[in-house]
Structure 1
Amino acid sequence: MFNLDQLIIEGDRALRILSGSVQQSRSTPKPEADLDVAPLSEQERKHAAGLMRVNHVGEVCAQALYQAQRLTSASPHLQSQLGHAAKEEEDHLVWCANRLEELGSRPSLLNPIWFAGSFAIGTLAGLAGDQWSLGFVVETEKQVENHLNSHLQALPESDIASRAIVEQMRTEEIEHGNMARNLGAKDLPEPITKVMGLVSQVMTKTAYYL
């Protein structure tokens, strides 16, 4: 199903993700590059940092999920599609990390735990078969889209930098979900989607502070 070279490559990628050494891959500027960023109050800054930390955790989890699903898929085409999506998600990771630094904050202290848990879930989804794995992508991206919509409501109106990042992330998350549907994703059973929602709630509430 996978070979030693793949494991070494993905292991190196995981270390770069968790160490914060990932760089933006696309040549275009980051979403907020040309914006005139307004100063935030201390309360607004802390709130925006909490939300962007949650978004950063979501991208850490996305990397782990895509890695596991690529490793467990026997389809070169699907591996390629998941790899492309993961590259875009990697840029999201960089944007969130940079914004956290600009806000004078840091990523979640629990990122290794989030990564390991997501990798395990992605492995189970992949082992269930490509169509179920793609169904997991669809449901994940749907929940992420809803989550990002709520952040656009919750972020301070004056924090146009964070809002620009979240808007671009939302656009690309929708594209990833559509990609999975077009590749033949199966709808996940309702009990699984509910459990996914509950796990997501625990993660977001915890990551806001830690």
Structure 2
Amino acid sequence: MSAAKDFPRPGKRSTPADRASMVRVDQAGEFGAVRIYGGQLAVMGDRHPYGRLIAGMAAQEERHRAAFDAMIARRGVRPTLLAPIWNVAGFALGAVTAALGPRAAMACTAAIETEIDQHYADQLEQLGSDDPELSTAIADFQAEEVEHREAAIAHGAEQVPAYPLLYGAIRLGCRAAIALSKRI
């Protein structure tokens, strides 16, 4: 694939294939987020002081996933074939970061949501006015992802030991998952 397809030039309109890829990758990402929070809650439980916060973010991610599930069905978009991997990987990431402690779980959220904020911003730029339904959903969900990142930082994400390493590794993994889910 050409770099121009991966990184659209300003003013380039999105194609139906681009929009199908966006729906596919966004559904995969929201599914992964649901699984991450599921893993965190499995370790920390809903009685943990951060349990309510995590459960609230998980509920929003579930709503996002359901919206993209509906778009996949309505638009006839093939979901990613990597869902079984994201199922296990997302849960494992959530469980491992929660086992490292609540601040590590928050660092995971901060890293993921930083990456998703940029991912959604790139999509909105590429979409322009080509697909109002998709643009509206992405913009609404992006605002909630930013809230999740801000909440994670407010709850000590940056105070976890080796934060730059953990944050960077999770962001790198998220970027790889995005790149793979666009195509597979």
Please give the TM-score of this superposition, normalised by the length of structure 2: 0.83
Comparing 75-84 with 167-176, which one deviates more in the overlay?
75-84
Comparing 120-129 with 68-77, which one deviates more in the overlay?
68-77
Identity of aligned residues (%): 22
Q: Match for 1:76: what amino acid?
A: H
Q: 2:147 aligns with which of 175, 182, 188?
A: 175
What RMSD in Å do the two structures reach over aligned CA positions?
1.9
Mapped partners of 2:179, 2:146: distance in 1: 23
Is the contact made by 1:135 and 1:186 (CA closer than 8 Å) also made in structure 2?
Answer: yes
Asked if residue 47 in structure 1 is aligned to residue 14 in structure 2, the reply is no
Secondary structure in 1 aligned to 2:76?
A: coil
**Unmatched runs of 5 consecutive residues or more in structure 1:** 1-40
**What pairs with 1:126-165 in structure 2 (closer than 5 Å)?**
126-155=98-127, 157-165=129-137
Count of matched residue pairs: 169
Moved over 6 A (4+): none
Mapped partners of 1:47, 1:58: distance in 2: 16
2:8 maps to none
Structure 1 or 2: more helix by fraction: 2
Q: Match for 1:94: what amino acid?
A: A
Mapped partners of 1:97, 1:154: distance in 2: 22
Q: 1:44-75, CA deviations, whole angstroms, 9 ceiling, x for partnerless residues?
A: 22210101111111111101110111121265
1:194 maps to 168
Mapped partners of 2:148, 2:37: distance in 1: 11
Asked if residue 81 in structure 1 is aligned to residue 53 in structure 2, the reply is yes
Mapped partners of 2:127, 2:178: distance in 1: 15
Q: 1:130-172, CA deviations, whole angstroms, 9 ceiling, x for partnerless residues?
A: 1121122112111111111111112253211100000001010
Q: 1:71 aligns with which of 42, 48, 58?
A: 42
Q: Match for 1:201: what amino acid?
A: R
Mapped partners of 1:140, 1:52: distance in 2: 18
Please give the TM-score of this superposition, normalised by the length of structure 1: 0.74
Q: 1:103-137, CA deviations, whole angstroms, 9 ceiling, x for partnerless residues?
A: 22122121111110111111110111111211221
2:177 maps to 203
Mapped partners of 2:75, 2:67: distance in 1: 12
Is the contact made by 1:70 and 1:78 (CA closer than 8 Å) also made in structure 2?
Answer: no
2:82 maps to 110
Mapped partners of 2:103, 2:174: distance in 1: 22
Is the contact made by 1:68 and 1:123 (CA closer than 8 Å) also made in structure 2?
Answer: yes
Mapped partners of 1:49, 1:156: distance in 2: 15
